[in-house]
Amino acid sequence: MDLKLNFYDVCIVGGSIAGNYLCHLLSKTNLKIVVIEEHEKVGLPFQCAGIVSQKLSKLIDLPEEIILTRVSTAKLVTPSGKTIKLSGNEKPFIIDRIALDRLFYEKTRNRERIQYFLGEKFKSFQYIKDESNKILLVETSKRKLKARILIGCDGPFSSVGKIVGIKNNVIFASQIQVKGNFNQNEARLYFDPKWKELFGWIVPEGNGVFRIGLAASKNVARKFSLFTKNLKIDISKKIDKQGGIIPYGMMNKIAFNNVLLLGDSACQVKATTGGGIIMLLTSAKYASKCIIKCFKNNNFSKKFIKRNYENPCVSTVGKQIKIHYIIRSLLENFSVKDFDKFFQIIEENRVKDLISLFGDMDFPKDLILKLLLNPTIFIFLIKFMFTHPNIFIRLLKILTN
């Protein structure tokens, strides 16, 4: 074996929010860490609507300057133009996403035991023996290195995931930033069977600028153009334009021999909103505890990582991601009439009060249980299932997965 190869304890692939936050959590140990990021600049390209629940400030020490603004109302719009306004205790943050990605990078990049390789692409890894230990030989576009454990934080099309047999279903997003005259205190979500896998959005970022976007499984450019045309937005006046990919479905398997997946690579994303930040920050805390335990016990087996990382994730974020996916599977099959009927039920049956009281952007389980106890909603859903037996089978599959 080539002894000149640099040896790291931990190799993180991807220097975006998941990779940088995990690196920050592990920087409190004496582990030698390398982060490989294919882009030259951390945080770029910018690909996010940046709407994150208040939990963000509980999960991390959030500097004021990262919060661009906050919204107090969510306005939901049906395909026929009917609206409901939801407001409650939750006043989500609209964040400067580039600054969030850089926050933990700036905190750790000059630490003695931490090395960032920017502008360098992870290509592959293989298992090799080093004395009596199984370790990893990692190959990037510029070098080979050895590591004890590898973390795939490399997004929806994770190369690390591919090597361990994981592939995400994805949807595609298009977004512009543009000056507009919309309400600065509300986020608007436009539902439509044409973009059934998510919605169109208008999110204020302050100073009269709005992030206007849409995500769907195909023909996004055409759908986005239709969406902005309906909103009478002059795309030529855009300040900037972004694209992006969002994993879609339930959390993947995330534990493998000497390997973990975290963030979008693990599909730790809510299928109702496409939001992943709260889920991945929560999971990163489990990941860092697990990695520290692996070194303490000199155990990097799939079984050990499953017990100490995958299982805690499954019983917390995994369960909630499943509920988000169930909700999305229902919404995906709503017709224009179903949306109108459902919104009417929400408006007329004090359901809005329930949502205001128990609504949680990230962890919807309690609210869903309360909603199911509402007879009008319950009857609506039963009727819907009877007229769509395929959904019933799909939901059973999700529940038993």
Ligand X SMILES: Cc1cc2nc3c(=O)[nH]c(=O)nc-3n(C[C@H](O)[C@H](O)[C@H](O)COP(=O)(O)OP(=O)(O)OC[C@H]3O[C@@H](n4cnc5c(N)ncnc54)[C@H](O)[C@@H]3O)c2cc1C
Residue-level length of the chain: 401
Residues 127-166 vs ligand X: string with x where CB under 6 A? --------------------------xxx---x-------
Provide the b/e sequence for 100-113 (b: ≥16 CB within 10 Å): bbbbbbebbbeeeb
Interface positions, 228-267, toward ligand X (CB under 6 A) = 244-246, 263-264
From 109, 89, 98, select the one nearest 44 (Cα to Cα): 98
Beta bridge partners of 138: 125, 145
User: With CB under 6 A, what is the number of residues at the site for ligand X?
Assistant: 37
Query: What are the structure tokens assigned to 194, written together?
Result: 């044409």
Query: What is the spatial distance between Cα 269 and Cα 321, in angstroms, rounded to a whole number?
Result: 7
User: Distance (Å, rounded) from C-alpha 154 to C-alpha 261?
Assistant: 9
Which residue of 104, 122, 190, 256 would you call a contact of ligand X, by CB under 6 A? 122
Query: What is the token pair recorded at 78?
Result: 């049906």
Q: Give the one residue of 189, 280, 290, 294 binding ligand X; rule: CB under 6 A.
A: 280
- Among 52, 75, 70, 65, smallest CA distance to 205 is for 70
Of residues 170 through 199, those in contact with ligand X by CB under 6 A are 173, 175
- Judged by CB under 6 A, which of 275, 312, 359, 364 binds ligand X? 275
Spatial contact of 141 and 120, defined as CB atoms under 8 Å apart: yes
Q: What share of the chain is helix, strand, coil (3-state, %, to 5)?
A: 40, 25, 35
Q: Is 16 in the site for ligand X (CB under 6 A)?
A: yes
Binding region for ligand X (CB under 6 A) out of 72-80, 275-283, 331-339, 383-391: 275-283
Candidates 107-115, 222-230, 269-277, 391-399 — which segment interacts with ligand X by CB under 6 A? 269-277
213 binding ligand X? (CB under 6 A)? yes
Residue for token pair 């002059």: 234
Binding of residue 51 to ligand X (CB under 6 A) = yes
Whether residue 89 contacts residue 354, with contact meaning beta carbons closer than 8 Å, is answered with no
| 13 binding ligand X? (CB under 6 A) | yes
Largest CA distance in the chain: 71
Could you tell me the smallest distance in angstroms from the CB atom of residue 247 to ligand X? 8
Per-residue mark of binding to ligand X, 313-342 (x: CB under 6 A):
------------------------------
- Contact residues toward ligand X (CB under 6 A) are 13-19, 36-39, 47-52, 121-122, 153-155, 159, 173, 175, 213, 244-246, 263-264, 269, 274-277, 280
